[in-house]
Amino acid sequence: MSTAAPHAPPTRVILENDTSRGRRWRWLPWWIAGISLVVAASAVAANARYFQKQGALAERWHSLSKEAPNKVAIVDVVGAIMGGDGFARRQIEQVADDESVKALVLRVDSPGGTVAGSDELHHRLARLVEKRSLPVVVSMGSIAASGGYYVAMANGGREDVIYAEPATLTGSIGVIIPHYDFSRALKRFDVADDSITSGPLKEMLSPTKERAPELAERERKVLQALVDDMFARFKEVVRGGRPKLDGDALDAVATGQVFTATQAREAGLVDRIGFLEDAVERAVELAGLTKDTARVVRYERPRGLLDEILGVDVAAAVRGTGPARGPAEALLPRSVLDAFVEWTTPRPWYLCTWWPAILSSGP
């Protein structure tokens, strides 16, 4: 009797998808969409900034009448002057657009800065003063030296308009081109500057280039001629702001020396020793106003929500046009490369300092 073999169970083929790869790439469209939105938003913002004027500064009441229509504006020049396009310039532009401003109090608390930056601020102030016939009174803070004093000369050449506080340091009329020679230090580490240049004077002021005595002397003569020319410009500007300080009297104070307020008054660099409120009172008088008909105002940078959260002026920190303040300043540092290039770029300064100039003008 034959027995049938049991039937074998049917073979089943199960096809499984490799879902790990799918999970890996499923977020790709979202990443692409997000990047596209960021790029689009940046383009829109850049396009808007191109066609839009910089936002107006916030105007704050400072003193005297709160209701008076005529204003006396305090314009602050604070910190090292790196260029003519920062907070100080925006204040000048705001005053230029405000016909209700009848006088200026130029509050200077600066050790100076670059020749170009100091000269541009002086030029813009002087042009505004001449165009609007605005009386200007200078109020010096803790220091108003070199480029700070240069800017203070945009006072229209009037008498009795420069006030220094009792502890003010001022003067330092002169020009400096900093230079540091690290070539011998590098030589100890067997490092040599082998830069390729188009001419022997292209590397003037290079801190790493070892020079033959003849070339070093040639460079010094060229640089001294530059300094002398800019120094002559400085003295010309001082003559414009202090007409009585000329000839031997000007040469006696234009030595680069820093003066105390008392010494500066005796030398003719300032008119009076007094504080900001004294300068305001004089500006009100020159404008033909009274305490009841003058409103004294001061300007501030407009602050956004991010500024309040971080405790820092975000725009100034990003642009590098003002010192970031608050505990979050380390979150928005200037580009290290930009700062290094700025510090090592040979440039002349109207500056009173014993350290390399690396600060920016701030509010």
- Residue 7 counted as domain residue: no
- C-alpha to C-alpha distance for 228 and 208, rounded to whole angstroms: 25
Instruction: State the DSSP code for 207.
Output: S
- Does the active-site annotation cover 146? yes
Among residues 36, 42, 100, 202, which one is catalytic?
202
Structure-block tokens of residue 314 = 């975000």
Question: The CATH number of the domain where 309 resides is what?
Answer: 3.90.226.10
- Does the active-site annotation cover 202? yes
- Residue 262 counted as domain residue: yes
Among 228, 220, 221, 127, smallest CA distance to 175 is for 228
Percentage above 70 pLDDT, the chain: 73
Instruction: State the DSSP code for 5.
Output: P
- Residue 77 counted as domain residue: yes
- Residue 219 counted as domain residue: no
The average pLDDT across 285-300 equals: 97
The residues, ordered by sequence, that sit 6+ positions from 131 with a Cβ below 8 Å of its Cβ are 96
Per-residue pLDDT reduced to its tens digit, 95-134: 999 999 999 999 999 999 999 999 999 999 999 999 999 9
- Residue 123 counted as domain residue: yes
Among 276, 316, 45, smallest CA distance to 164 is for 276
Range of the domain at 64: 58-177+234-351
The CB density around residue 183, as the number of other CB atoms within 10 Å, is: 16
**Where does the pLDDT of residue 318 fall: very low under 50, low under 70, confident under 90, or very high at 90 and above?**
very low
Residue type, 31: W
Beta-carbon-side half-sphere exposure of residue 152 (alpha carbons within 13 Å): 32
Among residues 63, 146, 172, 360, which one is catalytic?
146
- Residue 44 counted as domain residue: no
- Residue 12 counted as domain residue: no
Per-residue pLDDT reduced to its tens digit, 131-189: 999 999 999 999 999 999 999 999 999 999 999 999 999 999 999 998 888 888 988 99
- Residue 193 counted as domain residue: no
Residue type, 310: L
Domain count, the chain: 1
- C-alpha to C-alpha distance for 362 and 176, rounded to whole angstroms: 22
Per-residue pLDDT reduced to its tens digit, 182-216: 888 988 999 988 899 999 899 888 888 888 999 99
Structure-block tokens of residue 116 = 């170009």
